[in-house]
Amino acid sequence: MTSLKNVIVNYQENEYENEIKNKTICIIGYGNQGRSQALNLKDSGLHVIIGNNNDSYAEEARKDGFKVFNIVDAAKYGDIVFLLIPDEIQKSIYDKEIGPNLRKGAVLVFASGYNYYYGLISVRQDITVLMIAPRMIGWGVRDVYLKNMGFPVLVGIGNDPEKKGNNILMTICNMLGVFRSGGCAVMSSFMEETLVDLLSEHSWVGAMLYLFRAYYEVATELGASPASVILELYGSGELAEIAAAMKDQGLFEQLKTHSRTSQYGQLTRGPEYVMDEIKGLIKKEAMDILNGKFAREWTEEENYGYLVYNKLHELARKHPMEKDERELYKILGRL
């Protein structure tokens, strides 16, 4: 069996726990992750400040009781600086506003492996670089904390000039609420996080969108009504229930909550979609992630990624399924 020794479920006390109480935690960005992580750390008793442009996010942070600074000043004040702004803009903001202003010996925390793994952000040698990448959407990080529960994170250590990286990492995870019931920290790396995160998006998550569309085309051509198709696929919320059962019971174990007819259909027909060619495709995508081809396409080539992104969104909106979905959601009072 593969080793699962890298899964840490219990916090081990260490000497940094006292040190962190005297540190200023600076959260750059007050969006999905920024707000939740800032509130969790504050409620765990740490001194937290926010760095953000002076707009509605900053206003929200003030309402939540934080002192808000512009990004340059926040970076100057922080002993531990969390970079919680979108991945694709991190490099330009870091290079101009954060990197040159970090205190000597500061700690920099990423929530994803992307920019550090690809070397897009290069960090001074005196800075300790850590990764705490939640496997949980932003509001969930706050929601489980308020329910006194934990959540899973992938963690990693980059630069570690003072060799305190592991203790700092574990202490911050503990303060974020990671080690409460149901949570864990998986000792990982910037590379692994980048691979598993992007590979999901480049394989089954993306494929699911287009498989749903193919299903819609076939079923409506055969006379099924758009409402029945959309509710069947995702509109009813059953899909979310299946995902929750996978999390709680396991991928195949949850099958037992479906009818026997359903299980028979899934087990006999499902494998037909995953031939060797599909595995080859997943491997090709994995290589494009690891060798940086995808990252260059998305973030480096003169806005190319954004142009394609906008075009594909526009095209997606024109599909008849999209129009039917909007109509249905209006009738159901969701819009």
Interacting residues with ligand NDP (CB under 6 A) = 29-34, 52-53, 55, 57, 84-87, 89, 93, 111-112, 133-134, 137-138
Please identify the residue of the shown chain whose CB is closest to the bound ligand NDP.
31
Instruction: Say if residues 193 and 199 touch (Cβ distance below 8 Å).
Output: no
Min separation Cβ 58 and ligand NDP, Å: 7
Decide whether 111 or 233 has the Cβ nearer to ligand NDP: 111
Decide whether 90 or 167 has the Cβ nearer to ligand NDP: 90
Q: Burial of 262 by CB count in 10 Å (0-12 exposed, 13-18 middle, 19+ buried)? A: exposed
Min separation Cβ 85 and ligand NDP, Å: 4
From the list 64, 24, 35, 13, the residue with the least C-alpha distance to 145 is 35
Decide whether 100 or 265 has the Cβ nearer to ligand NDP: 100
Question: What is the Cα–Cα distance from 50 to 81, expressed in whole angstroms?
Answer: 10
Question: What is the Cα–Cα distance from 217 to 226, expressed in whole angstroms?
Answer: 10
Min separation Cβ 216 and ligand NDP, Å: 27
Decide whether 111 or 157 has the Cβ nearer to ligand NDP: 111
Instruction: Say if residues 60 and 36 touch (Cβ distance below 8 Å).
Output: no
Min separation Cβ 117 and ligand NDP, Å: 12
Question: What is the Cα–Cα distance from 148 to 247, expressed in whole angstroms?
Answer: 19
Decide whether 240 or 275 has the Cβ nearer to ligand NDP: 240
What tokens appear for 47 in the block? 């001194």
Decide whether 33 or 174 has the Cβ nearer to ligand NDP: 33
Compute the residue count for the chain: 335
Decide whether 96 or 147 has the Cβ nearer to ligand NDP: 96
Question: What is the Cα–Cα distance from 216 to 133, expressed in whole angstroms?
Answer: 35
Contacts of 311 (CB under 8 A, 6+ apart): none
The amino acid that residue 127 corresponds to is I
Min separation Cβ 217 and ligand NDP, Å: 31
The amino acid that residue 115 corresponds to is N
Min separation Cβ 325 and ligand NDP, Å: 23
Could you tell me which residues are beta bridge partners of residue 24? 47
Question: What is the Cα–Cα distance from 3 to 207, expressed in whole angstroms?
Answer: 30
Min separation Cβ 114 and ligand NDP, Å: 7
